[in-house]
Amino acid sequence: DADVTQTPRNRITKTGKRIMLECSQTKGHDRMYWYRQDPGLGLRLIYYSFDVKDINKGEISDGYSVSRQAQAKFSLSLESAIPNQTALYFCATSDFGGWDPSNVDTQYFGPGTRLTVL
Amino acid sequence: QKEVEQNSGPLSVPEGAIASLNCTYSDRGSQSFFWYRQYSGKSPELIMSIYSNGDKEDGRFTAQLNKASQYVSLLIRDSQPSDSATYLCAVKGNNRLAFGKGNQVVVIP
């Protein structure tokens, strides 16, 4: 089974609809992240969470919200979807491991959700 | 200035040749550096991580880090058609990763 799973894998929705993307992980990592990827713009961080009680905005959080339901689950919501939120969305996880420089806190990515907002 | 820059356009290399990718970053406090490979429509996959100056080798891949000049590079030796992908440079600072836009590599058989 995959270590990081995302549901749904593909979603087509209409402007104004509420959408939730879900991420689950079995890696036992404490840190989880949501990114979006657009052609020509690279990966951009939406929100991140270092534990269940910790939620932080990334560089493009407007129009999005998140919920960290458990250590293993991190959901991304679009309260009222708009066409420019059409993108590929990735969840990622990492294990902090401590402050030694050799603990590089590598992020591992889920398979992605392709979201289209019409 | 963008945080992480990968300026080269698509790179075409013959099979068996060396592919060289470069990345520069703006934050001198950056702590660790990563190269990810991404096939079209798929998720990024970690190739290499490096945190100290110098070279780090893993199989056909070598990452090179120069903090004084603020660049990190990736060499792919004996390039194979399966290496055809987009390579993303990522830099960790302030508890988050900043990604470059990626470089597409095409290995020609």
B36-67 residue pLDDT tens: 999 998 999 999 999 989 999 999 999 999 99
A47 within 8 A of A58, measured Cβ to Cβ: yes
Which residue, among A82, A77, A8, A90, has the nearest Cα to A42 in the 3D structure? Answer: A90
Tens digit of pLDDT for each residue in B88-104? 999 988 778 899 999 99
Is it true that the peptide bond before A8 is cis, omega within 30 degrees of 0? yes
Tell me whether residue B67 is exposed, middle or buried, using C-beta atoms within 10 angstroms of its C-beta: 0 to 12, 13 to 18, 19 or more: middle
Q: What is the pLDDT along chain A (118 residues), one digit of tens a residue?
A: 569 999 999 999 999 999 999 999 999 999 999 999 998 788 999 999 999 999 999 999 999 999 999 999 999 999 999 999 999 999 999 987 666 666 667 899 999 999 999 9
Do A101 and B31 lie within an 8 Å CB cutoff?
A: yes
What is the rounded CA–CA span in Å between residue B104 and residue A99?
34
Q: Cβ–Cβ of A108/B34 closer than 8 Å?
A: no
List the end-to-end C-alpha distance of chain A, in Å, as a whole number. Answer: 33
Q: Which three-class secondary structure string do you get for A33-75?
A: EEEEEECCCEEEEEEEEEECCEEEECCCCCCEEEEEEECCEEE
Q: Coil, strand, or helix at residue A84?
A: helix
Tell whether B77 is within 8 A of chain A (Cβ).
no
The CA distance from A113 to B5, in Å, is: 26
